[in-house]
């Protein structure tokens, strides 16, 4: 039977072995090595997002932000539409044949691109730290179930082991990431189906009858978008670049958006339901299982740890290739090693901190300030140049089509900074603990948070006004990928 158009691999390339180490970093992927297909992206994203972190995000809505279950349900469904952005930010890879922050050089220039590259590297490492902290918390509870109280030394050992294990798949590279995450999707689905059944018996869906103010609804919407569709846009092309250049836009967008949005929405709704039944659900990542029977807790924690390693795999792989775009002389494997060490140090701070919730929510809200404008600039640039890229120029640090004014494309830099400032004006990070801050527009509008939308709108509009003519001309002068 012939393959469907959406799964067609036009190069005929065979996928490398799962155990082979990928030597390529941000280098261009030759057309005869493009072995991927859109359905692989669907299962990779599903395998990563079927994850306890997203249950925790749902619990935060009810326990800390004061939303009713109905409000949490509505905002979750709206917020997860943002995965369309992740899909749209995955269509450039097959045409350019390289990673997201190598492609971002087309908009910012090779030197101007160092600013968003640095922000993204910090963001990816931040998500890695979150995952490691979750893993350590789960390990501590498992040890407690076995009669062992984890002290400082044990926690440090857990952190070292966790960062060492999480480095395995990113070290192996692209093939291992896609294949292993696909294999893990099914057992994760089964586990959370069991959790959903157990939650039905305990949930008190009317425990918060009046719910939160409209302003707080937008705070949670910003958090869902940041942790979800917008928060993954900077990773998309790191995994789609192994698709044939002729792969259609629609199959990629649909595969990525549905693969991530379906589990994300289901798990956040489940988390909100758990939050109505277990007030301790948002006190810490392990608070989610406070109201469940022991027979379920142990397998849940074991699976949760495996899941967390899965999602951290994407962050660590992408942080590595981002660091390589920031410092080109580094090899991908060197970047993985550097990120692992940095992650271990900051994860230790998070684990021993008494304000994990504040640090997490503050992090998720503050990354909007750069992510919204960058995403809009990146997508507007793609549309203006009709998804045409000169891959040799993208990887050049001293000349080429995108070098322009000394390697900086000022319209993108101006749009990035303007969008970031505008987003801050309507940011509400009051729940961010030591990072707490409220923008002046938010404080005057019932504590609402429109930072996501303002950042996207201002960043994209400013870039279009300043660069549309020149970028269109670049696109016209660039041969289409075949």
Q: What is the pLDDT of residue 291?
A: 67
Of the candidates 272, 292, 282, 271, which has an alpha carbon nearest to the alpha carbon of residue 207?
272
Token duo for residue 328:
């080109």
Task: Give the separation between CA 345 and CA 333, rounded to whole angstroms.
Answer: 19
Token duo for residue 393:
């120029």
Task: Give the separation between CA 449 and CA 439, rounded to whole angstroms.
Answer: 9
Q: What is the pLDDT of residue 5?
A: 42
CA diameter of the chain? 68
User: What distance, in Å, lies between the first and last C-alpha atoms of the chain?
Assistant: 26
Of the candidates 362, 338, 334, 337, which has an alpha carbon nearest to the alpha carbon of residue 350?
362
Contact 65, 360 (CB under 8 A): no
Q: What is the pLDDT of residue 250?
A: 96
Low-confidence ranges of the chain (pLDDT < 50): 1-10
Task: Give the separation between CA 153 and CA 354, rounded to whole angstroms.
Answer: 18
Backbone φ and ψ for 134, nearest 5 degrees, come out as: -60, -45
Cα Rg for the chain, rounded, in angstroms? 22
Long-range contacts of 408-411 (CB under 8 A, 24+ apart): 408/108, 408/109, 408/111, 408/112, 409/107, 409/108, 409/109, 409/112, 409/467, 410/112, 410/466, 411/462, 411/463, 411/466, 411/467, 411/470
Q: What is the pLDDT of residue 157?
A: 92
Of the candidates 336, 87, 289, which has an alpha carbon nearest to the alpha carbon of residue 191?
289
Token duo for residue 373:
């404008």
Residue 108 vs residues 37, 191, 254, 340: alpha-carbon distances, Å: 29, 43, 28, 28
Q: What is the pLDDT of residue 172?
A: 82
Of the candidates 200, 181, 182, 183, which has an alpha carbon nearest to the alpha carbon of residue 192?
200
Q: What is the distance, to the nearest Å, from the Cα of residue 445 to the centroid of all Cα atoms in its chain? A: 29
Contact 389, 103 (CB under 8 A): yes
Contact 103, 93 (CB under 8 A): yes
On average, the pLDDT of the chain sits at: 87
Token duo for residue 58:
């749902």
Of the candidates 318, 291, 301, 172, which has an alpha carbon nearest to the alpha carbon of residue 232?
318
Please name each of the domains of the chain with its CATH number.
30-356 (1.10.4160.10)
Of the candidates 301, 283, 302, 311, which has an alpha carbon nearest to the alpha carbon of residue 127?
311
Of the candidates 380, 39, 36, 43, which has an alpha carbon nearest to the alpha carbon of residue 239?
36
Task: Give the separation between CA 159 and CA 139, rounded to whole angstroms.
Answer: 10
Token duo for residue 225:
């978008």
Contact 436, 358 (CB under 8 A): yes
Task: Give the separation between CA 462 and CA 460, rounded to whole angstroms.
Answer: 6
DSSP, res 285: G
Q: For tokens 């836009």, what's the residue?
A: 249
Task: Give the separation between CA 431 and CA 444, rounded to whole angstroms.
Answer: 17
H/E stretch holding 28 reads: none
Calculate the dihedral angle through the C-alpha atoms of 193, 221, 227, 299, rounding to the nearest 10 degrees: -20
- Tell me the torsion sign for CA atoms 222, 105, 30, 16: negative
Three-state SS for 428?
strand
Task: Give the separation between CA 222 and CA 243, rounded to whole angstroms.
Answer: 31
Q: What is the pLDDT of residue 9?
A: 46
H/E stretch holding 298 reads: helix 294-326
Three-state SS for 134?
helix
């Amino acid at each position: 039977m012939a393959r469907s158009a959406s799964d067609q691999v036009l190069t005929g390339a065979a996928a490398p072995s799962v155990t082979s180490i990928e030597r390529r970093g941000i280098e261009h992927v030759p057309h005869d090595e493009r072995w991927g297909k859109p359905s692989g992206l669907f299962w990779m994203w599903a395998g990563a997002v079927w994850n306890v972190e997203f249950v925790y995000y749902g619990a935060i809505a009810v326990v800390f932000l004061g939303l009713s279950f109905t409000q949490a349900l509505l905002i979750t469904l709206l917020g997860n539409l943002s995965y369309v952005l992740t899909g749209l930010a995955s269509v450039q890879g097959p045409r350019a044949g390289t990673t997201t922050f190598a492609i971002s050089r087309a908009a910012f220039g090779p030197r101007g691109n160092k600013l968003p590259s640095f922000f993204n590297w910090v963001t990816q490492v931040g998500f890695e730290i979150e995952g490691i902290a979750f893993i350590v918390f789960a390990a501590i509870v498992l040890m407690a179930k076995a009669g062992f109280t984890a002290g400082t030394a044990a926690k440090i050992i857990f952190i070292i082991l966790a960062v060492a294990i999480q480095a395995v798949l990113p070290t192996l590279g692209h093939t291992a990431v896609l294949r292993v995450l696909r294999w893990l999707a099914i057992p994760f689905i089964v586990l959370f189906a069991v959790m959903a059944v157990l939650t039905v018996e305990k949930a008190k869906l009317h425990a918060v009858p009046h719910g939160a103010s409209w302003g707080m609804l937008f705070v949670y919407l910003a958090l869902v978008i940041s942790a979800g569709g917008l928060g993954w846009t900077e990773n998309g092309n790191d995994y789609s670049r192994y698709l044939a250049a002729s792969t259609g836009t629609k199959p990629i967008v649909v595969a990525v958006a549905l693969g991530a949005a379906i589990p994300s929405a289901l798990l956040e709704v489940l988390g909100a339901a758990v939050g109505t039944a277990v007030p301790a659900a948002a006190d810490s990542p392990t608070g989610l299982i406070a109201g469940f029977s022991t027979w379920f807790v142990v397998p849940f924690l074991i699976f949760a740890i495996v899941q967390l390693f899965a999602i951290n795999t994407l962050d660590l792989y992408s942080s590595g290739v981002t660091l390589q775009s920031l410092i080109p002389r580094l090899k991908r494997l060197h970047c993985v090693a550097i990120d692992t060490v940095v992650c271990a140090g900051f994860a230790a701070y998070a684990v021993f901190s008494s304000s994990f919730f504040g640090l997490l929510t503050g992090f998720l809200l503050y990354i909007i300030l750069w992510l919204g404008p960058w995403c809009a600039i990146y997508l507007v640039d793609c549309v203006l140049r009709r998804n045409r890229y000169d891959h040799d120029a993208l990887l050049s640090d001293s000349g080429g089509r995108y070098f322009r004014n000394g390697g900086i494309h000022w319209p993108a830099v101006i749009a990035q900074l303007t969008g970031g400032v505008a987003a801050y004006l309507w940011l509400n990070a009051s729940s961010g603990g030591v990072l707490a801050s409220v923008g002046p527009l938010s404080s005057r509008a019932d504590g609402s948070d429109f930072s996501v939308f303002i950042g996207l709108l201002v960043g994209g509009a400013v870039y279009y006004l300043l660069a549309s003519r020149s970028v269109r001309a670049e696109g016209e002068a660039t041969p289409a990928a075949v």
